[in-house]
Structure 1
Amino acid sequence: MSASLRYLVGLCLLLAPSFTGGARILGMFPTSSPSHYILGGALMKGLAEAGHDVTVISPFVHKHPPKKGKWREIILEGFMEEFNKKFESINMFEMDFNPLLFSIMANQMGNKIVEETLNYTKVQDLIKSNEKFDAYIVPQFMNDGLKALAHHFGGHLILFSQTAPNSWFNHLVGNPSMPSFLPEVVLNIPSKMSFFQRLQNTLVKFFSMSNTYLIFYPKQNKLVQKYLPNPVDLNDAMYNISLVLLNSHVSLFAPQPAVPCMVEIGGFHVEPPKKLPKDLQSFLDNATEGVIYFSMGSNLKSKNLPVEKREAILKAFGKRKEKVLWKWEDDVLPGQPSNIKLGKWLPQQDILAHPNVKLFITHGGLLSTTETVYHGVPIIAIPIFGDQKMNAYNAKEAGYGLILPFTEMTEETLSSALAEILENPKYRENAKERSRIMHDRQVKPLDNAVYWVEYVIRHNGAKHLRVPYLELTWYQYYLLDVFLFIFAVIFTVMFVTKKTFSYLCRRVQSKTKLE
C-alpha cells in the first residue's frame, strides 16, 4: 500500500466517528398533549444542537428552536384545536378511570392518532418525497402503526418512552416484564405487591396484552397497509427496534431490568433556572415562611375542580402561614385567601428552583415529579389518571411525598397532609437525597441520549444490542413448551408405573389363587 493510500485510509478512519454529526433524523410526535411535546421537543432540539439535520412532525411550534444544526418542523395543524375542544368538554376530575376500560379507550385514541397522522397531507407529501433518514424517533404511546415509517424512510427505529420500562413495549425488545414485580402503569398499586395485588396485576396484564395482540395491533397494521406505499408488515417493523430512550432514572423509579438497547435519560429536559418575572420573583423572595406551589399540570385544569373540593383546598390553604402560588386557569378564584397568588401559566422549573419553595402539590405527572426531584422539593400527590398513581407511589416509597387520593380530599385530610410534610423534616431531607442521586451521573442525560442515537447510526442499527430471545415465540419465552414436556413425562412415567404395578398385582393374585 502506497504512503498516500495509507494516509487516505487513516484519514477516513479518523473521521468516521464524526460522520454521524450530519445525520438526518426524523422525529414523529403527533400527540397533542403539551407535556408529551416538552419531552419530544427537548430531545430533538438536543440532537439538532449536536449538529444533526433534524425534522420534527408535531402539532407544536417550538418556542425556542436550536441555534445549531438544521431544524425543520412539519406542523400538524388542527390537531391542537381538536385536542383542546375535546378536553374543554371533559372534566377529568369526574371521570372513572377503570383500568380495563382504559384499554378500550386507548384503542380508539390510538387508531385515531395514527390514521389522522398518516392521512395528513404534509405527512403524505413527506412519505411520497423519497427522502431518507438515518434514524427515526417515535414515542411509545398508543401509536404502534407509526413504527412502520422507519422501514419506509430507511432509518433505524428508536423508541422514546415517556416513562420507565413497562408492559406497553417490554415485549418488543425482550425486556423482562413479569406481573410478579412490575405493576401495570394504570393500576393504583405499589411495586411491592400483596398476593391479591399480584393477582389483580396479572389479570389486568393478561387482558391488556390480549387486547393489544388480538385487537389493537391488527387494526394498526391495517392502517399501515392503507396509507404506506410498499408497506412492511407491522409485526416485523415493531420488533426491529435499535434503541429505547427511557424517561426514567433510579432516583424516580425502583430499579428494574433493562436489556442493553434500553438507556435511561430521565431528567434530560430540565434546564438551568432562568430569571423569574418581577412579580413572581418578589412574591417568592418575600415569602419568609416559605411557599407552597400548587399545579395540576397542563391537561388537568384546577378551574374544573368540583366546588366542594375547591372550597376545601381554600380553607386548608387559608389556615397556613406559608404563601401559596396556584396555577389557576381563570381570572377569578372565588373565596381566595390573601396568602394565595394565582397564575394561568407559571414557569414551573424556575419556581421549583427557588429556595423558598417548601412544598409542591401536584397531580403526580412524571414531568412534574422529575422536576421536583431535580430541585429537591417534597410533594403531596393528588393522582387522577394514567401513570400519576404509579409516580405518586414511587414518591411515597422513596420518602419524599405523600399521597392524597382525590376522592378522600377534604379540608381536614389536606390540612393534616400539609402539617405532616411541612413540619416533618424527613420529607425534605429525602427529597434532597433523591436530588443528589439524580445529579450524580457520569454525563448529562441529554448528552447520553445524543451519544446513543449517534452510536446506533454509527453501528448500522446496533444489532449486537438485541437480546437473542427476541427470536423465541411467546410460549417458548415463558417455557410453556418445556413445562408441558416435563408434565407429559411425569404423567407418562406415573401412568406406566401404575399400569405395571397393577399388572404385577394381578399376576401375584392369579398365582395365589392357583396355589
Structure 2
Amino acid sequence: MKNIVTVFLILLISHHGSCAKILGVFTSPGRSHYILGSTLMKALAEKGHDVTLISSFGEKKPPKTKGTYRDIVVTEIMKKMNELIAGGQVNMFEHAKMSPLPAAAFLARMMPRIMEPGLGNKEVQKLIHSNEKFDVVIVEQFMNDAEKALSTHFGAPLIVVSSMWANYWLNKIVGNPAPPSYIPMVTTDYSVPMTFCERLLNSLLYVVTEVFFNLFVYSVENDIIKKNIPNGPELSDVLYNASLVLMNSHPSIHQPVPYVPNMIEVGGFHVSPPKKLPQDLQEFLDNAKDGVIYFSMGSNLKSADFPPEKRDAILRTFSKLKEQVLWKWEEDVLPGQPDNVKLSKWLPQQSILAHPNVKLFITHGGLLSTTETIYHGVPILAIPVFGDQKLNAKSAMNNGFGLVLPYNEITEESFTQLIQEILNNSKYRNNAKKRSEIFHDRQVSPMETAIYWIEYVIRYKGAPHLRVAALDLPWYQYYLLDVLGFLILVNSVIGCIFYYSIRAVCRKICKKRKTKKLKQT
C-alpha cells in the first residue's frame, strides 16, 4: 500500500511539473480565426496545461479537459466590426473589385481600428493588472501587433500563430528570406512563376506595404500599447521577439518556400475526424443518387448578401442540375428556391465534405475551407472575394483540383460551364485525391507537431538558439547596402585613379610629341 501511494505521489508531482500556464490571444472578428485558436488551446488544455483564451467568441459550454480552460470574451471587437459594416465602411463583396494595392492598404488601415478595443476590455484589463504569470503567450498574427506586448508584460516567451502561410507579416518578424521574385503578396492572385509584370507589381506592392506599415500602422499599434498596458514596451522591442511561428500551411496546399528554424508548418491542425451528421442531413446526402454539390461562402461572407442578379444566376444554374445542392444560406427564405436545393443557416462542413456523395465544393476559397477540401479530396469551384482567397483559388486551379470564377464574372453561363467542367472531367477529383494523399503523408499529426513545439519553447525558456542573426542587423546591413556602398566607393576610387593616371600619361605623351615637333621646325 505504501508503494502504491508513493507511485501515485510521484505521478502527481510529475504531472504538476509538466503543466504550464498558457495565455492565448485570438481576438480577430473572423470565426475561422477563432476556430484555429480555440482548437489549439483546447488541445493544450487536454494535454494537461492550464489555458486562458482571449477571443471575440468564446465557448457556450466550457470544454472538459485534463487541464483548466478559461475564456475571456472580448465583445468590443465584434461590436466595432458590426458598426463599420452597418456604416458602409466594410463591405466584403466590394473587396472583389479592389486591385492588390488598395486591398492591402484597406486591411492595414482598417484592422488596427477594429482590433484596438480588445486590450481595453474590462476583463483583459483586469488580467493585465493582476499578478498572474504565464509560461508562454500565444498570439495570432493578423495586424494586431500591439497584443504581442502581453508577452513582455507577463515576462513570457512569445509564440505567433498564423492563420495563413509564410507571408509579409510573418517573414519580417523572424528574419525569413522572402524574395518578391517568386513569393506573391497575400492580396494578389499571382501564379508561380510570375510574369515580368507580376514580379514588378509584386515588388512595388512589397515596398509600398513596408513603407505604409512603418509610417502609419506601427505608430498606431505603438499608441495602443502605451494606452492599455502599464509601462508598456515600445513596439519595436516586441515586434521581432517571437520565439516560434506556427503556420497554417503545408506543401499539399502551398508552394514550398524557405523557412528559418523557428517557423513550423502545422497546416490542417484544426481538422478533426468526421462526426455523426444530423438525421436530415444524413438522409439528404445518402439519398442523392446523382451526387451532392456543397455551397458555402464561409463564416465572414454571407450568401444572402449576394446582389439579386448574381443570386438569380446561381439559382437558374442550380435548377438545371440533376445533382442535389446543399447551400449555407443565412436567412429563412430563398426566393425562387429550386426543388433540388436544401438550405441551412449552419452546416457541419468537415463532416459533409467527408461524405462520399459530395462531388463538388463551391467555396469562397478561404484557407480553412481549402484545407478541409484537400483533407477529404473534394474538388472545388472557388468564388474568391477578398484577402488570401484569390491566391488560394489560383493555387487550387494551378494544382488541378479546382477552377476559379471571379465574383465580378458570375453569370448563369459561366457558372454552369465551370460546374459541368468539374463534374464531368475526372482529372479534378483525381488531383484532389492526390493532394489529399500528400496532406495525410506525415510522420505525426499537425496538432501533435504544434503541441511539441509549444512545449519545446516552454522547456527552453523561449528557445533563443532558434533565433537567426538577421533580426539583429539594421536593414541596410541585412540588404548589404553598406557593403555595396563600400564596393561602389572602392571601384569609384580605383576608376578615378585609373582615369587620372591614363590622363596624365596621355598628357605627358602629347607634351613630348609637341616638344619634338617644335624642335623639328
Instruction: Map 1:375-386 onto structure 2 (within 5 A).
Output: 375-386=376-387
Give the match for residue 99 of structure 1: 100
Residue aligned with 2:437, SS: helix
- Residues 305-360 of structure 1: CA deviation (Å, up to 9, x unaligned): 11111111112122211111111111221222111111111111110000000000
Distance in 1, matches of 2:192 and 2:39, equals: 29
Corresponding residue of 1:6: none
How far 1:78 moved relative to its partner?
4.2
Cα deviation, residue 140, structure 1: 0.5
Aligned to 1:83: 81
Query: What letter is aligned with 1:93?
Result: F
Q: Is the 8 A contact 1:158 1:242 kept in 2?
A: yes
CA distance, structure 2, for counterparts of residue 304 and residue 121 of structure 1: 34
TM-score (normalizing by structure 1): 0.94
Aligned to 2:395: 394
- Contact 1:114 / 1:145 at 8 angstroms: preserved in 2? no
The alignment-based identity, stated in percent, is: 55
**Structure 2 letter corresponding to 1:399:** G
Deviation at 1:407, TM superposition (A): 1.2
Q: Does 2:90 match 1:125?
A: no
Moved more, 132-141 or 485-494: 485-494
List aligned pairs for 1:52-67, cutoff 5 A. Answer: 52-63=49-60, 65-67=63-65
- SS of the aligned residue for 2:432 comes to helix
> TM-score w.r.t. structure 2 length?
0.93
Match of 2:5 in 1: none
Report the Cα distance in structure 2 between the residues aligned to 1:261 and 1:235, rounded to whole angstroms: 20
Checking the alignment, whether the CA contact within 8 Å between 2:27 and 2:118 is kept in structure 1 is yes
For the 8 Å contact 2:366–2:388, the answer to whether it is kept is: yes
Shift of 1:481: 1.5
Equivalent position SS for 1:359: strand
With 326-335 and 481-490 compared, the bigger mean Cα shift is at 481-490
Alignment of 1:45-444 (within 5 A): 45-63=42-60, 65-87=63-85, 91-95=91-95, 96-444=97-445
- Cα 1:85–1:355 shift into 2, 3 Å: farther
Deviation at 1:297, TM superposition (A): 0.6
Supply the distance in 2 between the matched residues of 1:79 and 1:210 (Cα, whole angstroms).
27
Indicate conservation of the 8 Å contact 1:114/1:146, yes or no: no
Letter paired with 2:181: S
> Do 2:104 and 2:187's aligned partners in 1 also have CA atoms closer than 8 Å?
no
Report the Cα offset of residue 81 of structure 1. Answer: 4.0
Aligned to 1:5: none
Between Structure 1 and Structure 2, how many residues are aligned?
504
**Which stretch of the first structure deviates more once superposed, 314-323 or 259-268?**
314-323
Q: 1:69/1:18 Cα in 2 relative to 1: closer, same or farther (>3 Å)?
A: closer
Q: Do 1:30 and 1:113's aligned partners in 2 also have CA atoms closer than 8 Å?
A: no
CA–CA separation in structure 1 for the residues paired with 2:77 and 2:85: 12
Matching residue's letter, 1:392? A
Instruction: Give the alignment partner of residue 40 of structure 2, picking from 16, 38, 43.
Output: 43
Could you tell me how far 1:238 is from its partner in structure 2? 1.4
How far off its partner does 1:20 sit?
Answer: 6.2
Deviation (angstroms), 1:448: 1.0
Once the 2 structures are TM-superposed, how far is the Cα of residue 15 of structure 1 from its aligned partner? 11
User: Matched residues in 1 for 2:380 and 2:113: separation?
Assistant: 35
> In the superposition, relative to structure 1, how do residues 475 and 18 fare at CA in structure 2: closer, same or farther (>3 Å)?
farther
**Contact in 2 for aligned 1:267/1:370 (Cα 8 Å):** yes
Aligned equivalent of 2:30: 33
Q: d(CA) in 1 for partners of 2:64 and 2:394?
A: 36
Following superposition, the deviation at residue 36 of structure 1 comes to 0.9
Q: Please give the alpha-carbon distance, in whole angstroms, between the structure 2 residues aligned to 1:20 and 1:351.
A: 41
Q: SS at 1:453's partner residue?
A: helix
CA distance in structure 2 between the aligned counterparts of 1:432 and 1:411, rounded to whole angstroms: 29
Q: Provide the C-alpha distance between the structure 2 equivalents of 1:218 and 1:472, rounded to a whole number of angstroms.
A: 21
Q: Residue 245 of structure 1 aligns to a residue in which SS?
A: strand
Greater mean deviation of Cα atoms: 63-72 or 198-207: 63-72
How many angstroms does 1:67 deviate by? 2.4
8 A Cα contact 2:298 2:369, kept in partner = yes
Whole-Å Cα distance in 2 between the matches of residues 286 and 482 of structure 1?
70
Q: Which residue of 2 aligns with 1:8?
A: none
Instruction: Indicate if the aligned counterparts of 1:359 and 1:379 stay in contact, CA closer than 8 A.
Output: yes
Q: Secondary structure at the match of 1:169?
A: helix
Residues 90-145 of structure 1 show CA distances to partners (whole Å, capped at 9, x for unaligned) of 54223433433334433443332443122211111111102110000111101001
Deviates more, 1:409-418 or 1:131-140: 409-418
CA distance in 2, matches of 1:19, 1:262: 29
Contact 1:20 1:454 in 2 (8 A): no
- Counterpart AA for 1:94: E
Q: Deviations over 1:355-403 (max 9, x none)?
A: 0000000000001001100000000111000000111111111110111
Closer/same/farther in 2, CA of residues 313 and 110 from structure 1, 3 Å limit: closer
Change (3 A) 1:98 1:17: farther
How far apart are the structure 2 equivalents of 1:17 and 1:483?
Answer: 56
Describe the shift of the 1:66–1:247 C-alpha distance in structure 2 as closer, same or farther (beyond 3 A): farther
Tell me the CA shift for residue 440 of structure 1. Answer: 1.1
Sort the Cα spacing of 1:464 and 1:126 in 2 relative to 1 into closer, same or farther, 3 A.
same
Deviations 1:15-67 (A, max 9, x none): 99966631000011112211110111101111101100000111212246242
- Give structure 1 stretches of 5+ with no counterpart: 1-10
Distance 1:84 1:349, change over 3 A: farther
What amino acid does structure 2 have at the position aligned with 1:363?
Answer: H
Q: 1:20 touches 1:458 (CA, 8 Å); kept in 2?
A: no
Equivalent position SS for 1:229: coil
Show CA shifts across 1:462-486 (max 9, x none): 0111112221111111111222222
